[in-house]
Structure 1
Amino acid sequence: MLKKPIHGEKKNRVLLKPRFKMELDNTSVEEILKAFKDNLAKDECKYCSKIADNHIFLDIPEEDNHFWSPQLQVEIEEDKNKNKTIVKGILGPKPQIWTMFMFFHFIIAILFVVFFVWFYTNWSLNKDYYFQEMMLIVLPLLSVLLYFFGQSGKRFAYNQMLELDQFLHKIIHKKDHQQ
């Protein structure tokens, strides 16, 4: 399972993008990929997926998908030195959500610098700077609002994150027990 996906048993404390790494003995990359492909091809499997080389992307099914639905990204590689297969993964929001949040925070930071320079210039010239001063207050508040918006999204995605994690471990452990 995820390494400490929650702290203090509160859904609010879900890690932003939990990462995990598993080392599997006596299992090749091809065997794990085949196990994923076989499970994903079954009629009862509800997950959408993309497999490219040694990367697997698992998404929540379309009918259950919402703005905050997570994505599980799995990378499988072979460690020839230790004769093991390494399964690494990231469980978190879809890349579009991360990009959007980073874009908004970047725009807020740029605007903050612009309004600060404008404020300082007007202050130095003894001109009215009320609007700039208000923006210097509003922009950090907007950033905090974005933070709480993201926190609420984590709560909405929590059960789906656990569901994807359990699906991954079901496949990995089923593969282990077949040997």
Structure 2
Amino acid sequence: MNLDDQLPLRYRFDKVVTKSYDSILASCEKLKETVEPDYKIKISGHHIWLHVGLLQREKHSPHLHLEIEKMEDGNTFVRGLFGPDPVLWTLFMFLHFVVGGIFVIFTVIAFSKWSLDQSYKFDLLVMFAMINAWFLLYFIARLNRKKGLKQARELEALMEKILE
């Protein structure tokens, strides 16, 4: 996997491994005890979450969600998703909805003022500021993703230990 060249903020991948479903869960349970202070591994059903440990966690630290499925030929299909910390992701989504809501409200106000032949320059200014805020949020997210790339590679190496 090449995490550097990926455009999306939340990198997804699919992988077929020859290891069986049960042996993946067993190796995950065994590895969970050895990496405990540095990494946190949660298992629920056919989902595995890999997190950076509390001592190394930063606001830009990623997590890795793995979904494992049995295949008919004995192999295992693994779906992975790298993402930011869920709290940070929720904050960014909230900010996006606020910016979008303000943009829509001021668009309606600007249209109303335009149809009534009133001045709507301030409303256009706010709309322009919201567009800039969208871009700012996007670039902040890209910067956080770039800062967390080293830890994402560490989580990828941990995943490889589980899958091999």
TM-score of the alignment, normalized to the shorter chain, above 0.5: yes
AA matched with 1:33: L
Give the letter aligned to residue 6 of structure 1: D
| 2:119 alignment counterpart | 128
Which amino acid in the other structure matches residue 16 of structure 2? E
Whether 1:5 and 2:3 are equivalent positions in the alignment is yes
CA distance in 2, matches of 1:49, 1:43: 9
Q: State the secondary structure of the residue aligned to 2:15.
A: strand
Distance 1:96 1:162 in 2: 21
Which letter maps to 2:132? Answer: L
The match for 1:115 among 72, 96, 106 is: 106
Unaligned runs of at least 5 residues, structure 1: 8-12, 174-179
Residue 96 of structure 1 deviates from its aligned partner by 2.7
Contact 1:92 1:161 in 2 (8 A): no
Question: Which residue number in structure 1 is paired with residue 32 of structure 2?
Answer: 40
Per-residue CA deviation, residues 54-96 of structure 1 (Å, 9 max, x unaligned), is: 111111011111111100111111012x331112211121233
Deviation at 1:98, TM superposition (A): 2.5
Count of residues paired in the alignment: 164
The question of 1:171 aligning with 2:149 is answered no
Find the residue that maps to 2:117 and give its secondary structure.
Answer: coil
- Cα displacement (A) at 1:104: 1.6
Q: Which residue of 2 aligns with 1:19?
A: 12
Q: In structure 2, how many angstroms separate the alpha carbons of the residues matched to 1:131 and 1:31?
A: 62
CA drift of 1:163 comes to: 0.6
Where does structure 2 lack aligned partners over 5 or more consecutive residues? none
Contact 1:17 1:90 in 2 (8 A): yes
- SS state at 2:64 partner: strand
Counterpart amino acid of 2:45? D
Per the alignment, do residues 162 and 14 of structure 1 end up closer, same or farther by CA in structure 2, a change over 3 Å counting?
Answer: farther
- Root-mean-square deviation (Å): 1.8
Deviation at 1:115, TM superposition (A): 0.4
